[in-house]
Amino acid sequence: MNFGIAVHGGAGTMPRKLITPEIETACRNALKKAMQSGFAIIRDGGSSLDAVEAAVIELENFELFNAGKGSVFTNKGKHEMDAGIMDGKTLQCGAVAGVEHIKNPVALAKKILHHSEHILLLNDGAEEFAKMHRVEFADDDYFFTQLRYDQYLKAKNKDIIVLDHVDDKKLGTVGAVALDKEGNLAAATSTGGMTNKLFGRVGDSPIIGAGTYANNRTCAVSCTGHGEYFIQHVVAYDIHCLMEYKNMTLQQATEHVINDKLKNINAEGGLIAIDTKGNICLPFNTSGMYRGWMKSENDFFTAIY
């Protein structure tokens, strides 16, 4: 029986000299821990939806990735986090954008999927909904990391907005995709956005079809990169369409979108995807992407470059 999970911690330009052995080991361990958390759920007969939530929660709790605890600072010195999740069996989805005090935004996105007639909730309204459904909150101190604060000061002094996948330490958006024993697919993505961002900017991660998509007819996809391009080209849904309407394989579809379509417009990024047969693809058009997959306790893979 084919089932499995894949995760990512962001794609970008990653000079090897900036990734110390300690950082590389920590990131690989974080990817593995996330995969193990999600895989255990699938192995024991649980759903792919629960698996991607569990995996992304682990990645949100890892402070070197730009999501949850490791989220970057906005221009106002705050954290605005986004997340999306989708069930490939029912096409139900939930998403949240611009929340400041939610410990694990993907958990709130899943609550929205199950308990709201809406799909995307924003800012204070999303946090009000979170209180009603007992989602865990965290104060500003929980999200503070010296690494992100230093990046924020540097960007603010230069008056620039820094993409999460091309900043000093090259650690970005996180996500997971999974196929369970029942043949159901799911995808989830979470991000802290851009360093020094203005105007409540929201990227592709919580936009269903852009940064996150799952459909049992084809595949599940989680994206990472320059969100504006991924929104314009509806990247995650595009993978699904190429498979459903043009009969492309998962590999053909993902390679075409990442290495032809996006690369031709100088859009940087990558994605992880899994299809209904358990095939996994992790293409990226940058120098690296924190990524991994797991199909059994002894059959797993992690990489950066």
Residues tagged active-site = 173
Check if the beta carbon of residue 295 is closer than 8 Å to that of residue 288: no
For residue 264, with 0-12 CB atoms within 10 Å meaning exposed, 13-18 middle and 19 or more buried, which class applies?
Answer: exposed
For residue 174, with 0-12 CB atoms within 10 Å meaning exposed, 13-18 middle and 19 or more buried, which class applies?
Answer: buried
Strands 212-214 and 185-191: unpaired
| Secondary structure string (H, E, C) spanning 21-38 | HHHHHHHHHHHHHHHHHH
Check if the beta carbon of residue 109 is closer than 8 Å to that of residue 126: no
Check if the beta carbon of residue 46 is closer than 8 Å to that of residue 180: yes
Q: How far is CA 157 from the centre of its chain?
A: 29
Residue of 180, 169, 273 lying closest to 219 (CA atoms):
273
Check if the beta carbon of residue 160 is closer than 8 Å to that of residue 6: no
DSSP state of 101: S
| φ/ψ (deg, to 5) at 144 | -75, 125
Report the alpha-carbon distance of residue 253 to residue 145 in Å, rounded: 38
* 208: β partners: 212
Q: Sign of dihedral through CA atoms 113, 32, 30, 302?
A: negative
For residue 205, with 0-12 CB atoms within 10 Å meaning exposed, 13-18 middle and 19 or more buried, which class applies?
Answer: buried
